[in-house]
Amino acid sequence: MSDRVDLILEQWRRERPDVNVESLGLVNRVLALAKHLEDRANEALAPFGLQLWQYDVLSALRRAGPEYALSPSELCRVSTLSCGAMTHRLDRLEEAGLVRREPDPADRRGLRIRLTEAGRTCIDAALEPRVAQAARFAETLPVEDRAILAELLRRLLMSCDRSAAPEPDPASSASRRSRAGRRRSRLRAPQTAPAWAPDGLPDVSASAPRIDPS
């Protein structure tokens, strides 16, 4: 059997036989499947007035359990949205009455995003159709193949997540270490009191330089 990606690979082999394009087969199929799955998910969520990105945010809050609240940065880590897109998306969800922003009691400058009662009702109702849509996709493969595919995709995703993680800035790390070292030095510096002579004045003879008369 051949699919549309096979045609792409065949054309590249003909036009550029000097380039090994086999890896494009895997990548292009994952991208094509992602588009299919996003479209099907949006169809399943449409009766609830949701798109997939909205479902992802509400789902992350619902999975957090009581109190159904996360910080914006925590939401970015567990959803498919970038931090840049999160603020605008939260505005839209708040306008719809599905989430609300609250001050973070542990951080005066921070915020918590909390699922409202309407948001919880919405995500609970949308969960089963979403799962059913995913099940219809998975049923095209035998059970044993699903397990193999899940493990292979897990490895690929973990590898991508590791490579996408920002590397620490050496200059910033060195600066933090330097500041920490200075703080430790101040804390550990011996507090030496001056010796006191009988007349009550500091005796500096012990610290004065010795002069050799010779």
CATH number at residue 137: 1.10.10.10
Is 72 within the bounds of a domain?
A: yes
In a domain, 196, yes or no: no
Q: Which domain holds residue 96?
A: 4-164
Tell me if 19 is assigned to some domain. yes
Task: Quote the CA–CA distance of 143 and 210 in Å, as a whole number.
Answer: 88
Total of domains in the chain: 1
What span, in angstroms and rounded, lies between the C-alpha atoms of 36 and 39?
Answer: 5
Residue 117 lies in a domain: yes
> How confident is the prediction along the chain (214 residues), in pLDDT tens digits per residue?
899 999 999 999 999 999 999 999 999 999 999 999 999 999 999 999 999 999 999 999 999 999 999 998 899 888 767 777 888 899 999 999 999 999 988 888 889 999 999 999 999 999 999 999 999 999 999 999 999 999 999 999 999 888 877 666 555 555 555 565 565 555 454 444 444 444 443 444 444 444 444 3
Cis-peptide into 167, omega within 30 deg: no
pLDDT of the residue at 169: 59
Query: Are 90 and 99 within 8 A, CB to CB?
Result: yes
Tell me if 98 is assigned to some domain: yes
Side-chain-side CA neighbours of residue 178 (13 Å) = 6
Residue 171, domain member (yes or no): no
Q: pTM of the entire structure?
A: 0.72
In a domain, residue 29? The reply is yes
Evaluate whether residue 155 is within a structural domain.
yes
- Dihedral sign computed on CA atoms, order 26, 31, 34, 36: negative
